[in-house]
Amino acid sequence: MSEKIEAINLQPKSPCPAVIKKVDLIVIGAGHAGCEAALAAARLGMETALLTMSLSHIGKLSCNPSIGGPGKSQLVSEIDALGGEMARITDQAMINVRLLNTSKGRAMQVCRAQVDRNRYQAALKKSVEEQDNLHLIEATVEAMIIKGSRAVGIRTSAGWEIHGRAVIVAVGTFLNGKICYGKTSFPAGRAGEPPARGLASSLRLLGLKMARLKTGTPPRVDGRSIDFSPLKRQETSTVPLVFSFTTSPYTLPNTFPVYLSETNEETHNLIRDNLKESANYNGLITGVGPRYCPSIEAKIVKFPHRTSHKVFLEPEGEYSEEYYLQGLYTAFSQEIQIRMVNSIVGLEYARITQFGYNIEYEFVDPTQLLPSLEVKGISGLFLAGQINGTTGYEEAAAQGLLAGINAARSIRGEEPVVLSRAQAFIGVLLDDLITKGVDEPYRMLPSRAEYRITLREKNADLRLAEIGYRIGLLPQSRYEQIQRKKEEIARAITTLQRTHITPGDKIDDLLAARRTTPLRQNGSSLYHLLRRPQITLADLLPLCALSLSPEVAEEVEIAVKYDGYLQQQTREIARLMRLEKMAIPVDFTWQDLTSISREGKERLTKVKPRSFGQATRIPGLSKADLSLLAIYLKR
């Protein structure tokens, strides 16, 4: 049972008449990670305090006005399946949505949405404000309060304290943040907001290993100054698309297309001639930037043979004239940014409303975390989001959700929820962070997931709903709905397997129209017919007594067409699970492994893997050392 909140009266000099003194859980930061963490914990019955420097900036989209895409949409759907918030908020704020990877198979296709920046933030802020057990506090956290080896609260810059049984730090780019462009730099967490210097020092005093990374943002321009006529339009989907499994699919009006332009030789020459005017190349920035979202300066330097790079003009919202220049991340001086933007087709007379900049910040080496996102050796202290070296809204929200769940479970004395690489993209994300660490901002990519055909965007509810329901975040009505969906899929596959068809006019005409081999005399099951690349489930439904909803039909078709791949991945997953079951005790003494190399001991001691499976994924650990570890564990 959660303890009742206590309050104390403060001296008149304080800006607040009273503040919360004691709660179950304290969450620092109200970005995507902090909001998901606080909502999850509060919904699990924890009295939760969410602290932020500015209540008006809760849920703010700091960078691009978009959600989803390859690797990221899978995270969004998994957050939704577990009972999180991001997908539902995205569906409320979409102004343009497209299906990507349409040239690939159905299993690889994902959604990406442009959202109304203000509407998204307002919807997420409203969700947080209306949540029971959740208390919002505007304050700057200055220090952690540690008792023994346990986090028991925080101290603000105003000098007052809040005590709790667990703390989640989800502060984004605010730890000793520094904005840089041209030859200018100044302390900031993001544009217009101060950094968190005291908290950074407090974490460092706990003995946490920290380093610096950087990320960037491009200029925004006034849409009224853009010449759209020569630009390619990317229309919203004419097929109903949504992110949340609880939202009824719908189509958007084609009012807010994304426009596509590109850089040219004039742009590239300007950049080459003025590299010293960029903070990325004049020594002002020392942090490492994201490889998969580089600055335009880095693109020109690393790919000198390229004559152009794409620039996407993304609308900021329904009541905004601003366009976000995706692909033009830069740390140039403002003068060079103006010339660079005006060198691009369609932007010759564009007026910049917000200049681009880079931000350098501190992060905590995530190999110091347990799979639950709790800090090793400091009970009750959890980290989530960019503080762990990731980049992107979706990556942050996924970590926040798991941190909120596991902090609540820790308070109740329950085992943490740990998703494996075989269960979810979230499992891949967390395992990569705690096992491999980061030397650049980590972005979720489909190629990082070994079982990506099994871990699809549209089957996340089938994979994870049981976990969401068991931990208490997914309502029973929703869980039962998903169970019925599973049963409907199974029945449909059985019907296809049992329905046998022989040559005849109707099927012969269909096969001829699809330019595929005619049936042999003994015929075929509809299941085997559907495995042919030229045949779709819609072709076969008139031949059997099946009436399926679009979402069920999609899962049935993928299950049949990818049957061989899915069976192979099922075998690989079974092998992975056998390795994961070879558990390693928390208090295992790695120095006792006398036969393992010194380098092997160093790597194992740093990560402290919890299973043999995790040990196999530690970078640089030799097969010989792994073999010796396996023998030792079996003994």
Three-class SS of 323-378? EEEECCCCCECHHHHHHHHHCCCCCCCCCEEECCEEEEEEEECHHHECCCCEECCC
pLDDT tier at 613, thresholds 50, 70, 90: confident
pLDDT tier at 621, thresholds 50, 70, 90: confident
Strand partners, 141: 156
Count the neighbouring beta carbons within 10 Å of the beta carbon of residue 234: 15
Question: Of the ranges 54-63, 286-295, 469-478, which one carries the lowest mean pLDDT score?
Answer: 286-295
- List CB contacts of 283: < 8 A, sequence separation 6 or more: none
* pLDDT, position 505: 75
Residues 581-590 have pLDDT tens digits of 888 888 888 7
To the nearest whole percent, how much of the chain has pLDDT over 70? 97
- List CB contacts of 414: < 8 A, sequence separation 6 or more: none
Count the neighbouring beta carbons within 10 Å of the beta carbon of residue 281: 18
* pLDDT, position 10: 33
Question: Of the ranges 368-377, 529-538, 599-608, which one carries the lowest mean pLDDT score?
Answer: 599-608
* pLDDT, position 43: 98
- List CB contacts of 137: < 8 A, sequence separation 6 or more: 19, 20, 49, 50, 51, 52, 162
* pLDDT, position 586: 80
Look-up of token digits 């699970």: 577
Question: Of the ranges 11-25, 179-193, 283-297, 345-359, which one carries the lowest mean pLDDT score?
Answer: 11-25
Half-sphere exposure in the Cβ direction for 369 (13 Å, CA): 33
Structure tokens, 512 = 């001829």
User: What is the Cα–Cα distance from 170 to 47, expressed in whole angstroms?
Assistant: 18
User: What is the Cα–Cα distance from 30 to 496, expressed in whole angstroms?
Assistant: 49
Strand partners, 262: 310
Half-sphere exposure in the Cβ direction for 492 (13 Å, CA): 26
* pLDDT, position 419: 96
Distances (CA, A) of 268 to 265, 276, 323, 545: 5, 14, 22, 61
Strands 524-525 and 220-222: unpaired
* pLDDT, position 17: 37
Res 634 pLDDT > 80: no
pLDDT tier at 12, thresholds 50, 70, 90: very low
pLDDT tier at 11, thresholds 50, 70, 90: very low
pLDDT tier at 14, thresholds 50, 70, 90: very low
pLDDT tier at 18, thresholds 50, 70, 90: low
Look at phi and psi of residue 593 and say left if phi exceeds 0, alpha if psi is from -120 to 50, else beta: beta
Question: Region 29-48: what's the mean pLDDT?
Answer: 98
* pLDDT, position 19: 57
User: What is the Cα–Cα distance from 399 to 169, expressed in whole angstroms?
Assistant: 11
User: What is the Cα–Cα distance from 388 to 195, expressed in whole angstroms?
Assistant: 17
Question: Region 3-28: what's the mean pLDDT?
Answer: 58
Residue type, 137: I
Q: What angle do CA 45, 49, 55 make, to 5 degrees?
A: 130
Distances (CA, A) of 625 to 246, 368, 388, 405, 613: 48, 22, 28, 35, 13
Res 9 pLDDT > 80: no
User: What is the Cα–Cα distance from 595 to 635, expressed in whole angstroms?
Assistant: 14
More confident residue, 271 or 635: 271
pTM, entire model:
0.92
- Tell me which H or E stretch contains 567: helix 563-580
Res 1 pLDDT > 70: no
Which long-range contacts does 539-546 make (Cβ < 8 Å, 24+ apart)? 539/510, 539/514, 540/496, 543/499, 543/501, 543/506, 543/507, 544/495, 544/496, 544/499, 545/495, 546/492, 546/495, 546/496
Residues 107-165 have pLDDT tens digits of 889 999 999 999 999 999 999 999 999 999 999 999 999 999 999 999 999 998 999 99
Half-sphere exposure in the Cβ direction for 320 (13 Å, CA): 18
| Contact criterion met (CB below 8 Å) for 93 and 115 | yes
| Contact criterion met (CB below 8 Å) for 406 and 373 | yes
Look-up of token digits 């349409």: 102
pLDDT tier at 2, thresholds 50, 70, 90: very low
Residues 450-506 have pLDDT tens digits of 999 999 999 999 999 999 999 999 999 999 999 999 999 999 999 999 999 888 878
Kindly tell me the burial class for residue 406, based on how many C-beta atoms sit within 10 Å of its own C-beta (0-12, 13-18, 19 or more): buried
* pLDDT, position 271: 97
Res 54 pLDDT > 80: yes
Alpha carbon 590 to its chain's center: 33
Strands 48-52 and 178-181: unpaired
Structure tokens, 369 = 């975390």
- List CB contacts of 205: < 8 A, sequence separation 6 or more: none
Res 104 pLDDT > 90: no
User: What is the Cα–Cα distance from 288 to 212, expressed in whole angstroms?
Assistant: 7
Res 16 pLDDT > 70: no
pLDDT tier at 628, thresholds 50, 70, 90: confident
User: What is the Cα–Cα distance from 374 to 377, expressed in whole angstroms?
Assistant: 9
User: What is the Cα–Cα distance from 290 to 431, expressed in whole angstroms?
Assistant: 19
| Contact criterion met (CB below 8 Å) for 525 and 519 | no
User: What is the Cα–Cα distance from 382 to 375, expressed in whole angstroms?
Assistant: 6
To the nearest whole percent, how much of the chain has pLDDT over 90? 78
Question: Region 28-42: what's the mean pLDDT?
Answer: 98
E strand intervals along 139-192: 141-147, 150-156, 161-163, 166-169, 178-181, 184-187
Residues 432-453 have pLDDT tens digits of 999 999 999 999 999 999 999 9
